């Protein structure tokens, strides 16, 4: 009985640092970019707090890619097969890199990607919304 108690104590002490390491991490990813996330254990489930801020693609049990979908902060939790967390942390989606600019016309903003020549940036579903919207009428001279 004494050996069982000692073995359980060793397991609890050994597991505690891993649980502490799994919590409190932060990942930063630029808007419309991806960041690789390597896991210490095998993932069985991935939960994203707000999918409009970040999305996760599972490559294999130990490799995830986090995509920045919208500016802000959300949380990702990765669980193993027993339901124990192997990763818990915030995802901070930051402003795009230096090759993008915002053009304001009154309250309307157009995001532009610039690499020699600037072109409008299209994000999730924006192309369909822009095509469905009527074009503004040309002013009469």
* Confidence (pLDDT) at 35: 94
Please report which helix (H) or strand (E) contains residue 19, including its range.
Answer: helix 2-22
Taking only the tens place, the pLDDT of each residue in 16-73 is 334 334 455 889 998 888 999 999 999 999 999 999 999 999 999 999 999 999 889 9
Among 4, 21, 28, which Cα is nearest to 84's?
21
Locate CATH 2.60.40.1380 in the chain: 21-94
* Confidence (pLDDT) at 126: 53
Instruction: Decide: 53 and 93 in contact? Cβ < 8 Å.
Output: yes
Taking only the tens place, the pLDDT of each residue in 60-112 is 999 999 999 988 999 999 999 999 999 999 999 987 666 777 788 888 878 77
Sheet with 85-94, side-by-side order of all strands: 25-30, 85-94, 72-79, 45-48
Alpha carbon of residue 111 to chain centroid = 20
CATH class entry, domain 21-94: mainly beta
* Confidence (pLDDT) at 131: 46
- Top pLDDT among 30 and 136 is at 30
- Give the predicted TM-score (pTM) of the model: 0.58
Tokens describing residue 128: 């369909």
* Confidence (pLDDT) at 112: 78
* Confidence (pLDDT) at 113: 75
- Overall average pLDDT of the 117-128 stretch: 64
Q: Is 64 exposed, middle or buried (0-12, 13-18, 19+ CB in 10 A)?
A: buried
140 band by pLDDT with thresholds 50, 70 and 90? low
* Confidence (pLDDT) at 19: 39
Q: Is 2 left (phi over 0), alpha (psi -120 to 50) or beta?
A: alpha
* Confidence (pLDDT) at 111: 78
* Confidence (pLDDT) at 134: 52
């Amino acid at each position: 009985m004494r050996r069982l108690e000692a073995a359980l104590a060793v397991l609890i002490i050994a597991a505690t640092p891993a649980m502490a390491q799994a919590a409190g991490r932060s990942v930063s990813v630029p808007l419309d970019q991806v960041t690789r996330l390597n896991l210490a254990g095998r993932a069985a489930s991935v939960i994203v707090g707000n999918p409009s801020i970040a999305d996760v693609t599972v490559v294999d049990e130990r490799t995830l890619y986090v995509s920045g979908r919208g500016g802000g902060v959300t949380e990702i939790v990765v669980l193993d097969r027993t339901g124990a967390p192997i990763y818990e942390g915030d995802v901070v989606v930051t402003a795009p890199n230096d090759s993008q600019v915002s053009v304001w016309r009154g309250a309307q903003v157009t995001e532009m990607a610039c690499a020699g020549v600037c072109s409008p940036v299209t994000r999730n579903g924006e192309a369909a919304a822009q095509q469905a919207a009527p074009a503004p009428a040309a002013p009469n001279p």
